[in-house]
């Protein structure tokens, strides 16, 4: 049992982390923006300490940390999508949304009378950019968009000041995460919804490869990082180390949903145009002594079961 503070706790990954923390008996505080919706945590809101605080409001942030005294801080709050602008204002928007709040929260934790023991931040595989896979933590990153650049800026900032902090801080670079309550505009839920509605869907890049990890495994990794805080490196990749093609993913969804393979149209794509996003999982395995438990086939079957309750449960949950 621990006192835990979570930013981004009303989001996709954050809501799953929130539920797992409650399940293990933690006292959970969610630090949310004043305009955030509580839809994903509505049925457990009464068990949470929900603080609506802008991270730019240092006074309220200090008051919150003084009152809650978190032992572990999970910083998952981030904005993921930015429209490229000719004047590069999207890059400034990325820094404002993803770097500045991180700096504010770290500053508040550092000056708190009771500093946390661990600060675990969610990074992203997008920080690596379009370079050769698999990505090791020591790989030179080359992000090309506002999201990847702003998140890498946060990783570098945290790494740079790590020695000045009165607590251990580490970034979990997450592979592409999927699971229940994910926004419907992401690939897997959009495929499943299309199959459920028997609506056609076009896959523009069927040869692209993606490292896909179930949100339950991501939450397990984050919690292990909080427990093993004294031995954490600056950055840990969290993923499966496997990267199926998007064609393979789509066909797995069709099979799990019992849908017609005529629903999905695969567009032509050159082999030399295919992009692979895949982490090197060695540090994850060596440091956390852990590998993901839910393989992609079973993860898709679990999502299909939610969408179509008549489907049989999958019982084989091995590493992907």
The Cα 51–Cα 34 span in angstroms is 9
| Helix ranges, 162-245 (H) | 187-197, 215-227
pTM reported for the whole predicted model: 0.94
Pairing of the two strands 212-214 and 118-124 = unpaired
Domains located in the chain, CATH noted:
3-174 (3.40.50.720)
What is the pLDDT, as a whole number, of residue 309? 56
Q: Over its length of 320 residues, how does the chain's per-residue pLDDT go in tens digits?
A: 899 999 999 999 999 999 999 999 999 999 999 989 999 999 999 999 999 999 999 999 999 999 999 999 999 999 999 999 999 999 999 999 999 999 999 999 999 999 999 999 999 999 999 999 999 999 999 999 999 999 999 999 999 999 999 999 999 999 999 999 999 989 999 999 999 999 999 999 999 999 999 999 999 999 999 998 678 999 999 999 999 999 999 999 999 999 998 999 999 999 999 999 999 999 999 999 999 999 999 999 999 999 875 444 444 433 33
What is the pLDDT, as a whole number, of residue 1? 86
> 124 pairs with which residues across the strands?
174
What is the pLDDT, as a whole number, of residue 229? 67
Q: Which two tokens mark 260?
A: 């017609």
Contact 87, 18 (CB under 8 A): no
The Cα 144–Cα 295 span in angstroms is 30
What is the pLDDT, as a whole number, of residue 318? 34
Cα-Cα end-to-end distance for the chain: 30
The Cα 168–Cα 88 span in angstroms is 34
Q: Where are the beta strands (DSSP E) in the chain?
A: 3-7, 27-32, 49-52, 72-75, 118-124, 168-174, 176-178, 201-203, 209-210, 212-214, 235-238, 264-266, 276-277
């Amino acid at each position: 049992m621990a006192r835990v503070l979570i930013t981004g706790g009303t989001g996709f990954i954050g809501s799953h982390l929130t539920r797992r923390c409650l399940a293990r008996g933690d006292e959970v505080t969610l630090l949310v923006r004043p305009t955030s919706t509580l839809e994903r945590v509505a049925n457990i809101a009464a068990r949470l300490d929900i603080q609506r605080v802008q991270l730019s409001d240092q006074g309220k942030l200090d008051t919150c940390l003084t009152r809650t005294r978190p032992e572990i801080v999970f910083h998952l709050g981030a904005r993921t999508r930015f429209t490229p602008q000719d004047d590069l204002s999207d890059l400034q928007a990325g820094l404002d949304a993803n770097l500045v709040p991180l700096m504010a929260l770290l500053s508040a934790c550092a000056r708190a009378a009771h500093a946390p023991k661990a600060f675990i931040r969610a990074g992203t595989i997008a920080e690596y950019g379009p370079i050769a896979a698999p990505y090791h933590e020591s790989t030179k990153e080359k992000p090309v968009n506002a999201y990847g650049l702003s998140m890498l800026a946060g990783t570098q900032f945290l790494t740079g000041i790590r020695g000045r902090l009165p607590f251990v801080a580490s970034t979990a670079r997450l592979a592409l995460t999927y699971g229940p309550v994910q926004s419907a505009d992401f690939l897997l839920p959009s495929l499943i919804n299309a199959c459920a509605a028997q609506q056609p869907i076009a896959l523009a890049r069927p040869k692209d490869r993606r490292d896909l990890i179930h949100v339950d495994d991501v939450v397990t990794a984050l919690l292990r990082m909080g427990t093993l805080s004294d031995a954490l490196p600056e950055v840990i990749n969290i993923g499966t180390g496997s990267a199926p093609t998007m064609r393979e993913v789509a066909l797995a969804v069709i099979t799990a949903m019992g849908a017609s393979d005529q629903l999905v149209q695969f567009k032509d794509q050159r082999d030399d145009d295919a992009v692979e996003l895949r982490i090197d999982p060695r540090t994850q395995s060596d440091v956390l002594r852990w590998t993901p438990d839910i393989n992609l086939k079973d993860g898709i079957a679990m999502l299909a079961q939610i969408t179509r309750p008549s489907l049989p449960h999958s019982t084989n949950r091995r590493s992907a």
